[in-house]
Structure 1
Amino acid sequence: MKKRSSIRGSQTPTPTPTPIDPNNLAPECIRVDKVYDWVFFANDYQNKNFIPDEACREAVSNALANGDRVTTECNSTNPEDVICNATILENGNPGRVQIIWTVTVNVSVFINGNLACTFPVRTQFDDTIMLCVPEGITNDNINCRATQVICRTDGVLMGPDMFGPMIPVRVVLCKDVQVEFPVKLEVLAKFCFPRANNIPVPNDVIKCDLNLLEFPRQCPDIFPVDNCECQATVLARNEETLATFGENGTLVPGTSTLDGEICQECSLGDSQFTFSFTSDEDGDTTPTPTASPFDLSFTYDPSTIDRVVCDTDDESLAAFGEGTQTFDTSTQFANYELRIFNDPAGFQLILRNTAGEVIFDSGVVDALVRYEECETFADLLNNND
């Protein structure tokens, strides 16, 4: 049985935190393509392209020589028009898959605001990635697609005489790759989310000895990921904070702003938060030998959320990962520990350097919190005992 708790904490004015999305288990009988692996990643392509139309090349060269204004635009193609071809190089857990992506964008050249010409630029991306592709999975079971095409061009460069003006083009391709196989299942179902493309491609080919089943085996070590035991949303706007900086314990008064969703729908992949601290240089606090005369305001952006630990008895959770701490003139890497408490409602953010030393501790800060336990497979199995 889930525990549902009311919002605690107060602010003026009182904002509304993001509601928790339910993701309850339910028995289902389905005929479906089972997802054996699912990754999402992106590639960045940059190149200088000559203008294929001879008349346009000559017009642009003359315009540049005369000091006219020459501008360019790059129009992205529809992601559905991107072509991808997947080839399994080696089955395994994980196995090796090669994917070739072909995308075409259109580049337009303007002279003093008037269109001079438009021409296509064709780009190919070649990826080799590690996926769950056990014996029985074939090329037809690799479902690859582009979700977004981003194109940018920055003006015109003067190239060598034989090519004339060159136009730099940058193309970013966002990609979604799934390994699917048709099965009939009776399941207890929850929504799941893609994992990061974070398995390195080994230099030596590693072959796995897999036993053949009616359906290929899943890869439980890498997908699907375990569900969280709890989920929470937290919201604080300019809440008073007496923070500690550095190993010497420098006390700095200020305000904290935090907006976070941890394990939404009970999935670690659906987690994010943002944090900022504004120091109060004129704060009315008692001077101490460790007080700081500097402005230590900063923002913190997490790059990963590696794990979440739940304490269902105390109705609290702790999220761990890494990110960057950005001051007015500098940025540094920092690991974080974000603690969220339901009763009393609040949070605490602790940042550590690469040596594990605490470089920032917000202390417990008041916040609006929604906390809820997740129903896991273990809960249902224990209830059936």
Structure 2
Amino acid sequence: MQAKSLSGGQELLCINTTKVYDWIVNEATFDVSICVDLEDTDCDEVDTVTCEVEPLKAVVLNRQDREFIIDGEPITLQLVTIQKTFEVTVFVTKTNGATCQVDSQTFTRCEQVILCAPEGTKVKVDFTDVDCFVCVLECNRTPGGPLTLELGVTVRLCQSIQVTFPVTLEIVAEFCQPREILPFNPACPTPAIPLQCPVLFPTTPE
């Protein structure tokens, strides 16, 4: 069946959508300190120490109006304070090749960014890439105590920050049309005669 054409069917439409007030992509770097106790391990048994980071949540603590002059025009923007919480997990690989998780800690850090984010708008933070690495590693053992690893970990977050607000728009648009149906005409199989066995049958009369 052929789809009925809707071409030329423009009309005034009222739709709900989301308006983007502002959008930035930036990189944030944080340093954290982690102290890990290892039982039954010596410093010379530790080969490498690595980490993984997982963002947990991002919360807007406050926003304050700030006056700016951009291209000669005065404008009011907002200084937005964002609180971010993330979890860092530490792994130790020993000289025998065994790798094990030795600690996992949650950290909270804040940052401030300038945005067009008036009250009522929503500030959403999406992490497009997260990474961490161990920058400082000190290995110590107190007499009679466990092995202690003192780590300085650097966390790097690539983030997309958008300011949005739900709006209702009035637009003139044309309705979308369904695509044409692809032709599909399977061919009927032609009759076929099974192969015979002329050596065996039928036999030629003598």
**So what's the TM-score if we normalise by structure 2?**
0.60
3-state SS of 2:40 partner: helix
3-state SS of 2:148 partner: coil
> In the alignment, what sits opposite 1:295?
none
Q: Does 1:87 align with 2:36?
A: no
Displacement of 1:150 in angstroms is: 0.7
Displacement of 1:144 in angstroms is: 2.0
Contact 1:72–1:154 at 8 Å: present in 2 too?
Answer: no
- For 1:316-339, what per-residue CA distance to the aligned partner results, in whole angstroms no more than 9, with x for missing partners? xxxxxxxxxxxxxxxxxxxxxxxx
- For 1:111-153, what per-residue CA distance to the aligned partner results, in whole angstroms no more than 9, with x for missing partners? 212235421132322111111123xx33x62222222211222
Which amino acid letter does the alignment assign opposite residue 157 of structure 1?
E
Closer/same/farther in 2, CA of residues 76 and 187 from structure 1, 3 Å limit: farther
Displacement of 1:167 in angstroms is: 2.2
**Which of 121, 124, 129 lines up with 1:143 in the alignment?**
124
Instruction: Give the distance between the partners of 1:90 and 1:44, measured in 2 at CA.
Output: 23
Which amino acid letter does the alignment assign opposite residue 94 of structure 1?
L
Displacement of 1:69 in angstroms is: 4.2
Closer/same/farther in 2, CA of residues 28 and 153 from structure 1, 3 Å limit: farther
Which amino acid letter does the alignment assign opposite residue 172 of structure 1?
R
3-state SS of 1:133 partner: coil
Displacement of 1:42 in angstroms is: 1.4
- For 1:73-108, what per-residue CA distance to the aligned partner results, in whole angstroms no more than 9, with x for missing partners? 21232xxx5300013332462112110000112111
Closer/same/farther in 2, CA of residues 87 and 69 from structure 1, 3 Å limit: closer
Residues 4-43 of structure 1 mapped to structure 2, 5 A cutoff: 30-43=15-28
**Which of 22, 39, 53 lines up with 1:76 in the alignment?**
53
Contact 1:99–1:126 at 8 Å: present in 2 too?
Answer: yes
3-state SS of 1:59 partner: coil
> In the alignment, what sits opposite 1:105?
88
Instruction: Give the distance between the partners of 1:36 and 1:164, measured in 2 at CA.
Output: 49
- For 1:149-177, what per-residue CA distance to the aligned partner results, in whole angstroms no more than 9, with x for missing partners? 11222573135859832123221011221
Larger radius of gyration: 2
Instruction: Give the distance between the partners of 1:42 and 1:82, measured in 2 at CA.
Output: 17
Instruction: Give the distance between the partners of 2:94 and 2:141, measured in 1 at CA.
Output: 20
Instruction: Give the distance between the partners of 1:130 and 1:35, measured in 2 at CA.
Output: 15
Segments of 5+ residues of structure 1 without an aligned counterpart are 1-26, 189-385
Instruction: Give the distance between the partners of 1:176 and 1:116, measured in 2 at CA.
Output: 33
Segments of 5+ residues of structure 2 without an aligned counterpart are 1-11, 67-75, 173-206
Contact 1:98–1:129 at 8 Å: present in 2 too?
Answer: yes
Which amino acid letter does the alignment assign opposite residue 77 of structure 2?
P
Which amino acid letter does the alignment assign opposite residue 96 of structure 1?
L
Instruction: Give the distance between the partners of 1:116 and 1:59, measured in 2 at CA.
Output: 14
What is the aligned length?
148
Higher helix proportion, which one?
1
> In the alignment, what sits opposite 1:180?
164
Q: Which stretches of structure 1, 4 residues or longer, exceed 3 Å deviation after superposition?
A: 27-30, 159-163
Percent identity (aligned): 23
Higher strand proportion, which one?
2
3-state SS of 2:88 partner: strand
Which amino acid letter does the alignment assign opposite residue 131 of structure 1?
L
Structure number with greater CO (CA < 8 Å, separation at least 6) is 2
Contact 1:82–1:145 at 8 Å: present in 2 too?
Answer: no
